[in-house]
Amino acid sequence: MKNIFIIGCGLLGSSLLRAIIKKNISKKVFIYEKSKSNLNKIKKLKIPCILVNDFQHAVTNSNLIILCTPMSEYKNIVLKINPHLTSKNLITDVGSSKVESFKIIKKYLKKDAIWLSSHPIAGSEVSGPEHGKADLFVNRWSILIKDKNSKKEHLKLLNNFWKKLGSKVAIMTADKHDKIFSITSHLPHLIAYNLVKSAQDFEKKQKYSLIKFSAGGLRDFSRIAASNEIMWRDIFFNNNNNIIKAIELFIKNLNSFKKDIQTKNNKSILEKLIQTKGVRKKIIKLKQDINKPDFGRS
Amino acid sequence: MKNIFIIGCGLLGSSLLRAIIKKNISKKVFIYEKSKSNLNKIKKLKIPCILVNDFQHAVTNSNLIILCTPMSEYKNIVLKINPHLTSKNLITDVGSSKVESFKIIKKYLKKDAIWLSSHPIAGSEVSGPEHGKADLFVNRWSILIKDKNSKKEHLKLLNNFWKKLGSKVAIMTADKHDKIFSITSHLPHLIAYNLVKSAQDFEKKQKYSLIKFSAGGLRDFSRIAASNEIMWRDIFFNNNNNIIKAIELFIKNLNSFKKDIQTKNNKSILEKLIQTKGVRKKIIKLKQDINKPDFGRS
């Protein structure tokens, strides 16, 4: 690949930068980052890259443009890159929901410009370029979004790109993507935020200091409830229909557990508690988590 | 301490055995374990201890008796040890809920026998004596339950015992204990089970294979949803009133999130998402979790 232009250089953008440099898959990497604080951090990292303010030069000279900003920034970015885009640019993004963001892109992106969306299933509860890692994408899935207009050559190019970074690639429609990740990612994050909020409400009401006793379970949830709030607001709002359905399924199941507990229905609750145990084994077998009790923490 | 009698030797019991031997705090350790499969595993571990079938000898010769069985076994165990108990025995247990189990103990335990309940906030998603660890209690809280009949000498003895194993000790009433842990432990476990069940239901209905994409959040929950089902059924049933209140608070908050998402209420959702971030920092500051992104998994 000739040159790559990364727009937004937080955790994801800086991990991409590190991985691209490490794997030597681009001559130059242009970086646009609007936060001054992040810019200073990137300079300190001393990773070879060209920090730009000017979109024209970077867009004109890059064959791959990757958006790593919150999804609520897409419209602004599209309007900035539009004047300089040609059919030589392939644009992708790493956003976590696809149907709504694609509507924005379709509405504002210059006709004939080529956008093929990606979603690397990689991240962390920490934000900012200083936390990026070159191996963030290794053995992780990266989802490519296809529709009836997607061209094979662009799918192939992005497929090769993510594979060079160590990812496995799956291709699906935006609709299927948003349904799957409403359950495997968006609902779990919302539930984690909600559980931590409930613990805070309880602590306030009861005037008990209880966070220090969080090792019995709560601490696992606190990790993903520490994730970046702008990114997650964008996801919750963009994938709202699927997430609302997921919330409703979750509450229906929780009420069934509640009934088991109220009526001490031994058979019904044990069926549920046994059924769910298998998933952990499956996740470990599929190499989606490490095979160590307690995440190998201690 | 002269001798200790551990009744039930799964993850907790075998961790206690290992820690007691390592710290050399008892002359002999008697072990009662009813599962033949566990007994074979304990023999293979070759940790110095005396496996017993006979309660009389072990009770008569131990000053500390520790129940590490599921709480639904307490009545049976109490009836077995009753004939041999004297005022020389101090009995404790490691159960995760206290008000209901204390009712059972009060109803069946021999008059004048001394029971002072403990709850070490330590465990794992794996079960069985082969997974025990001598350092399971190090830097963990152990809660001692006091009521108006608790005597200082017994509190002091148990306090010393847990401190020798490396634990920090907190003393509170059964009522306060069950309220705190309904939020910091019991609700998180129920929520984890419920989230995994909802993902399974969704997978079945949509016929999508989605567990392989669990790295975006779901996998964190799968860990505690793999915990022992008998232990957790006992906890959910025993602490049912507090857990039902916790479920209701959780659903109320989740419906508030749902409304924010439906109405795209930016201010309200950001307030919630920002508020919860502080808890992770607090948990790490209180040394209840390690200070590494992603639990230091990778």
Of B221, B274, B288, nearest to A215 by CB-CB distance is: B288
SS3 B169: strand
Residue A207's pLDDT is what? 85
Q: What is the mean pLDDT of residues B82-109?
A: 95
SS3 B268: helix
> How many interface pairs between A and B have CB atoms less than 8 angstroms apart?
344
| Cβ within 8 Å, pair B218-A184 | yes
d(CA A157, CA B284): 42
Whether the domain at B3-172 and the domain at B177-264 fall into the same CATH topology: no
pLDDT at residue B49 tops 70: yes
| Cβ within 8 Å, pair B223-A258 | no
Comparing B253 with B289, which gets the higher pLDDT? Answer: B253
pLDDT at residue A298 tops 70: no
* Candidates A96, A244, A295, partner chain B, best to mutate (most B CBs within 10 A): A295
**Least Cα separation, residue A201 to chain B (angstroms):** 9
| Cβ within 8 Å, pair B274-A229 | yes
| Cβ within 8 Å, pair B180-A121 | no
| Cβ within 8 Å, pair A222-B140 | no
Residue B282 CB contacts under 8 Å (≥ 6 apart), including other chains: A211
Residue B1's pLDDT is what? 66
Amino acid at site A251: I
| Cβ within 8 Å, pair A257-B221 | no
Residues of B in contact with A240 (CB under 8 A): 261-262, 264
**Least Cα separation, residue B25 to chain A (angstroms):** 24
**Concatenated DSSP letters for chain A?**
--EEEEE--SHHHHHHHHHHHHHT--SEEEEE---HHHHHHHHHHT-S-EE-S-HHHHHHT-SEEEE-S-GGGHHHHHHHHGGG--TT-EEEE--S--HHHHHHHHHHSPTT-EE--EEE----S--SGGG--TTTTTT-EEEEE--TT--HHHHHHHHHHHHHTT-EEEEE-HHHHHHHHIIIIIHHHHHHHHHHHHHHHHHHHHT---GGGGGGTHHHHHHHTTS-HHHHHHHHHHTHHHHHHHHHHHHHHHHHHHHHHHHT-HHHHHHHHHHTHHHHHHHHHTTSS-SSGGGG--
Angle formed at CA A80 by CA A75 and CA A85, multiple of 5 degrees: 105
SS3 B145: strand
pTM, entire model: 0.94
Residue B101 C-alpha from the chain's centroid = 14
pLDDT digits (tens, 9 = 90+) for B1-21: 689 999 999 999 999 999 999
Residues of B in contact with A230 (CB under 8 A): 270
Check if the beta carbon of residue A26 is closer than 8 Å to that of residue A48.
no
pLDDT digits (tens, 9 = 90+) for B140-198: 999 999 999 999 999 999 999 999 999 999 999 999 999 999 999 999 999 999 999 99
Q: Which CATH number fits domain B3-172: 3.10.105.10, 3.40.50.1370, 3.20.20.100, 3.40.50.720?
A: 3.40.50.720
Closest by CA to B105, choosing from B141, B81, B88, is: B81
pLDDT digits (tens, 9 = 90+) for B79-91: 999 999 999 999 9
**Least Cα separation, residue A87 to chain B (angstroms):** 33
Residue B215's pLDDT is what? 84
What is the pLDDT of chain B when averaged over all its residues?
A: 94
Look up tokens 């999130």; give the residue. Answer: B257
For residue B277, the chain A residue with the least C-alpha distance is A226
| Cβ within 8 Å, pair B254-A266 | no
**Least Cα separation, residue A169 to chain B (angstroms):** 11
pLDDT digits (tens, 9 = 90+) for A105-129: 999 999 999 999 999 999 888 999 9
Give helix A240-263 / helix A266-275 axis angle, nearest 10°.
140
As to burial, measured by CB atoms within 10 angstroms (0-12 exposed, 13-18 middle, 19+ buried), residue A290 is middle
**Least Cα separation, residue A58 to chain B (angstroms):** 31
Closest by CA to A105, choosing from A96, A173, A114, A85, is: A114
Look up tokens 């005037």; give the residue. Answer: A207
Q: Which residues of A242-270 are buried (b: 16+ CB within 10 A; e: fewer)?
A: bbbebbebbbebbebbbebbeeeeeeebe
What is the pLDDT of chain A when averaged over all its residues?
A: 94
Banded pLDDT at B236 (limits 50, 70, 90): very high
pLDDT at residue A85 tops 70: yes
For residue A236, the chain B residue with the least C-alpha distance is B261
pLDDT digits (tens, 9 = 90+) for A221-248: 999 899 999 999 999 999 999 999 999 9
Closest by CA to A117, choosing from A83, A93, A142, is: A93
d(CA B9, CA B50): 12
Residues of A in contact with B212 (CB under 8 A): 141, 286, 288
d(CA B73, CA B67): 9
**Least Cα separation, residue B153 to chain A (angstroms):** 25
d(CA B133, CA B120): 14
Banded pLDDT at A131 (limits 50, 70, 90): very high
Residues of B in contact with A244 (CB under 8 A): 258, 261-262
Q: Which residues of B194-206 are buried (b: 16+ CB within 10 A; e: fewer)?
A: bbbbbbbbbbeee
User: Which architecture, in CATH terms, is A177-264?
Assistant: Orthogonal Bundle (1.10)
How many C-beta neighbours within 10 Å does residue A202 have?
A: 21
d(CA B145, CA A197): 27
Identify the weakest region by mean pLDDT among A56-65, A187-196, A208-217, B74-83: A208-217
pLDDT at residue B237 tops 80: yes
Return the domain boundaries, chain B: 3-172, 177-264
Banded pLDDT at A134 (limits 50, 70, 90): very high
Residue A288's pLDDT is what? 86
- What's the maximum distance between 2 C-alpha atoms anywhere in chain A? 68
**Least Cα separation, residue A204 to chain B (angstroms):** 12
| Cβ within 8 Å, pair B222-A283 | yes
Name the percent of chain A lying above pLDDT 90. 83
Banded pLDDT at A1 (limits 50, 70, 90): low
Banded pLDDT at A290 (limits 50, 70, 90): confident
d(CA B217, CA B219): 6
Check if the beta carbon of residue A242 is closer than 8 Å to that of residue A185.
no
| Cβ within 8 Å, pair B125-A293 | yes
pLDDT at residue A209 tops 90: no
Of A194, A218, A283, nearest to B184 by CB-CB distance is: A218
